[in-house]
Amino acid sequence: MQLFPGMWFSHAGQLVSVELVVQPSTKSSLARVQILRPYCNPNQHLVPPGGCSRGQYWCHLLEACVCTTCPCSPYDSAAESRGFVLPPRYAALPPFYHLVADLPLTINPSPDLSVLSMLLSNREILVYPDDIVAIQHTRDFGTFLHCLNSDASLKSPWRQSYMSLRGTEWGGWWEGALTSLPKEGQWVDGVVCDLRMLYEDNLPRGTEDDNLGSSFKETTTAPVVWAWENGPTPSTTFGLNIVHPVPDKDNQIHVQINVPTLIVVKVLSGENAMCSWSAPIQQTGIPFLPYCPEEVTQFLPDCKRQSHDAWFSSVILVIPTEGVQMLNISVVNAVSSQNLSVEVCGYTAVTGLSVEPHRCRRMLVGIPQVRIQK
């Protein structure tokens, strides 16, 4: 596997095509282009992208919007003032990566470089901000994707680092998810690889082809931040409600601090709608899907799609401190919108409960006995 932590999607959209250049080979080979979604451990959280104007995208390294013809790489001179160590490494516990898209490929033998292009108009593959890219293949290390790591890329501001991971056996695949990065993984630094992914922003304010690649040289669109005062006239046609966790009678959701909690909302007629979440989640442009997340599908009755009008959207919420916060959820499409507010109450779980005396004791009927709980 070639895992690219430095290649991320800047906002939500639908994947349109995948383009890559493969090195020459005398043998046929198999490959899988994959989209991985990060989830942080309870002591960390993902930093949501900032809102940028059209023709720009959010560079988290610079904490600023940059033009789509500008790189966002620790190798770029613009990032030198931020004090990044080269080659880039993340010393803390990495995120958990969940597989959300898997595109298989068969590559025929060829004495020349092969340009592969997959058009995905018949597949609805949705990506979210911070999703990253990985490629698995059955060739030997360094013989699949065409990358430059010589003098041609030595001074390029577009160069990146990726991690090479070997399967359990030759040709073995990494399946499902990556819960941690194996110690035997090998970093490849300072390369420019021929890989590009185009995706569309299907929000009602317009559609534009976007891209993500190790060259990052094509046009991208920034995340859309909905401004209700300039948006559609509010209505209640969506039937927006929270199905997990269900709010209590006081319209409150109780979540344990520093523990990721999946929040799922349900609407009617949500096929072309987008969902936005205020702080403490702070995400916009999250699409609706015709099914619930796998984590809750089995035990949540509301996830059973009783009609084709039911659509679901979900996010991960992490509350770092105790207290009450107001969470505002907004849904919008081309003609209508709806808002919903709920109080999120963060609490610390009770631990260390014990009863004294610990051992079993005989008791006489009608005689009071004392038990101490700590």
Q: 87: buried, middle or exposed (CB in 10 Å: 19+, 13-18, 0-12)?
A: middle
Q: Is residue 364 part of a domain?
A: no
- Rounded Cα distance, 117 and 197, in Å: 10
With pLDDT > 70 as the criterion, what percentage of the chain qualifies?
74
Give yes or no for a contact between 96 and 176, defined as CB atoms under 8 angstroms apart.
Answer: no
What phi and psi, each to the nearest 5 degrees, are found at residue 310?
-85, 130
pLDDT at 158: 83
Q: Could you tell me the residue range of the domain that residue 268 belongs to?
A: 229-347
Co-location of 203 and 242 in the same domain: no
| Residue 371 covered by a domain | no
User: Are residue 321 and residue 239 in the same domain, yes or no?
Assistant: yes
Q: 286 pLDDT band (50/70/90 cuts)? A: confident
Question: Is 218 within a domain?
Answer: no
User: Which of 139, 164, 137, 165 has its CA nearest to residue 149?
Assistant: 164
- Asked whether residue 219 is domain-assigned, the answer is no
Q: Give the bridge partners for 227, in sequence order.
A: none
- Tell me: do 82 and 201 sit in the same domain: yes
User: Per the structure block, which two tokens stand in for 89?
Assistant: 């490494």
| Predicted confidence (pLDDT) at residue 215 exceeds the cutoff of 60 | no
361 in any annotated domain: no
State which of 184, 213, 242 marks the end of a domain: 213
Q: In degrees rounded to 5, what are phi and psi of residue 74?
A: -65, -15
Contacts (Cβ under 8 Å, ≥6 apart) of 291: 297, 303, 305, 312
Strand partners of residue 275: 286, 331
145 in the same domain as 235: no
Tokens for 344, please give them: 């999120």
Least confident of 183-197, 215-229, 253-267: 215-229
Q: CA quadruple 298, 304, 308, 313: dihedral positive or negative?
A: negative
- Is 355 part of any domain? no
Is 284 in the same domain as 206?
Answer: no
Q: What is the mean pLDDT of residues 96-120?
A: 87
Q: Are residues 147 and 261 in the same domain?
A: no
Residues 263 and 291 in one domain: yes
Whole-angstrom CA distances from 93 to 178, 318, 332 are 13, 17, 37
Looking at the structure of the chain, the number of domains it has is 2
Same domain? For 8 and 83 the reply is yes
Domain with residue 294: its CATH number is: 2.60.40.10
Q: What is the mean pLDDT of residues 101-119?
A: 89
Domain boundary among 186, 213, 240: 213
As a whole number of angstroms, the distance between CA 147 and CA 273 comes to: 39
Contact criterion met (CB below 8 Å) for 132 and 8:
yes
Highest mean pLDDT among 131-140, 226-235, 295-304: 131-140
Beta carbons of 62 and 152 less than 8 angstroms apart? no
Structural domain contains residue 297: yes
Q: Using the 3D structure, point to which of 213, 238, 268 is the last residue of a domain.
A: 213
96 and 61 housed in the same domain: yes
pLDDT band at 168 (very low <50, low <70, confident <90, very high): low
Q: Are residue 32 and residue 132 in the same domain, yes or no?
A: yes
Indicate if 34 and 173 belong to the same structural domain.
yes
Higher pLDDT, 347 or 168: 347
pLDDT tens-place string over residues 133-147: 999 998 988 899 998
Q: Which residue has the tokens 């593959």?
A: 125
Residue 354 lies in a domain: no
Looking at the fold, whether 43 and 152 belong to one and the same domain comes out as: yes
**332: pLDDT confidence band, cut at 50, 70 and 90?**
confident
Does residue 174 contact residue 1 with C-beta atoms inside 8 Å?
yes
**3-state DSSP assignment of residue 328:** strand
What is the rounded average pLDDT of the residues 77-91? 78
